[in-house]
Copies of this chain bind each other. A is one copy, B any other.
Amino acid sequence: MKKSDRSVTIKDIAREAGVSISTVSFAFNGTAPVAPETKERIFEVIKRLNYQPNSAARGLVTRRTNNICLFTPQPASGFFSFAGNSVFTHLLQGIGEILDQKDYNLLISWDNLGHKAKTPKLIKLMRERAMDGLLICLPSHDSSVIEELLEHRFPVVIIGSNGLKNQVNSVDVDNYDIAFRNVQHMLALGHTRIAFISPGPLEYLVCEDRLEGYRDALEEAGIRYRDEYLFIGDEHEGSGYRATDAFLSLKEPPTAIVSGRDTQAVGVCEYAKAHGLSIPDDLALISFENSELAEKYGISSVTTDLYEIGKEGARLLYKLLTRKKERSAQNIVIPSELIIRSSCGGANQNINHSRR
């Protein structure tokens, strides 16, 4: 008996099949022609001995690990993963599906929401060559890490907004456009006093983009932007509730609310219920995300297809990894769709948000 603790190596196969290790390698990888009979013999042995090339040894010479790393805010952090939302899991699902079919493994790593973190972790992983490419989703402005990666020409795709548009590959929905159209929808329904709840602090680019879309749509319609119609919310229902309370205590309360995310919209609904207000009659409501909550509460909401975003991100990264020549950065926009429900009082039709 052989020592059973050692894994089977290419040498074992070569010896057992009576060929050289190069031939085994050529046969296994199909990287050079091998006589049919030899090939057959080799594969018989490979199957019998359950041979699988050692990834470290292989990686050492090929300089590839077949590992992709997804770098995110902490999975349980408020902004990204919260009740009623499965943002994170859908993203993972999309990424995983593509990587799986391309035979890449998924590493996952995170820091403290992007800001303060020194983030040497990512740089360390790059220097160690522990991964071949990187999918980053950091909603904040801080892009020093990303810049360092780019300097080293490390393959990177950004999921979501980033401050380096045109310099780095990215995939996202068009947050600006969605906000713009949501406001337009309300305008079309006759509203002029339209408030906005930011999905989170304005340091996050998603939030900034949505706010900007909101402002520009108002401006285009010749409607003055008012500070008191902006509420900086967070990922909790409560922020939608408080926003509504704040809005409705104004001398000139808004008649419509553009909510930055579905959980907030639920808060708006809860406020309305608690105060005997009708949505959409007393207050029209439209939101972002189109999560299960939007459906449950009958809230009109624009889809943010994170599954699709994940898939496209992984595909783009794979392209970077396999293409020889460098290409200029690509910014992929995943289309969104406005799902109209009872909350905004509009006709019951869906509107495609095309790329602007």
- Interface contact B291-A128, CB-CB below 8 Å: no
CA–CA, A93 and B112, complex, Å? 12
CA–CA, A81 and B105, complex, Å? 21
> Is residue A214 contacting chain B, with contact meaning CB distance below 8 A?
no
> Is residue A347 contacting chain B, with contact meaning CB distance below 8 A?
no
- Interface contact B107-A109, CB-CB below 8 Å: no
How far, in Å, is A223 (CB) from chain B's closest CB?
35
> Is residue A45 contacting chain B, with contact meaning CB distance below 8 A?
no
How far, in Å, is A173 (CB) from chain B's closest CB?
18
- Residue interface bits A281-304, CB-to-B below 8 A is 1, else 0: 000000000011100100000000
With A105-B109, A107-B106, A107-B107 in contact, is A7–B93 under 8 Å at CB?
A: no
> Is residue A274 contacting chain B, with contact meaning CB distance below 8 A?
no
- Residue interface bits A116-141, CB-to-B below 8 A is 1, else 0: 00000000110111100000000000
CA–CA, A83 and B128, complex, Å? 38
- Interface contact A83-B292, CB-CB below 8 Å: yes
With A7-B127, A55-B129, A107-B106 in contact, is A75–B60 under 8 Å at CB?
A: no
> Is residue A221 contacting chain B, with contact meaning CB distance below 8 A?
no
- Interface contact B107-A92, CB-CB below 8 Å: no
- Interface contact B54-A60, CB-CB below 8 Å: yes
Cβ < 8 Å to B, chain A residues 45-90: 50-57, 59-60, 65, 67, 74-76, 81-86, 88-90
How far, in Å, is A165 (CB) from chain B's closest CB?
26
Contact of A130 among B105, B108, B293 (CB under 8 A): B105
Contact of A57 among B60, B74, B105, B153 (CB under 8 A): B60
- Please, could you name 8 A-B residue pairs with CB atoms under 8 Å apart, sorted by A? A51-B127, A52-B124, A56-B57, A75-B88, A75-B96, A84-B84, A105-B125, A106-B109
New A-B pairs, 7, CB < 8 Å, besides A75-B96, A89-B89: A7-B129, A56-B129, A74-B93, A81-B86, A83-B84, A106-B107, A237-B296
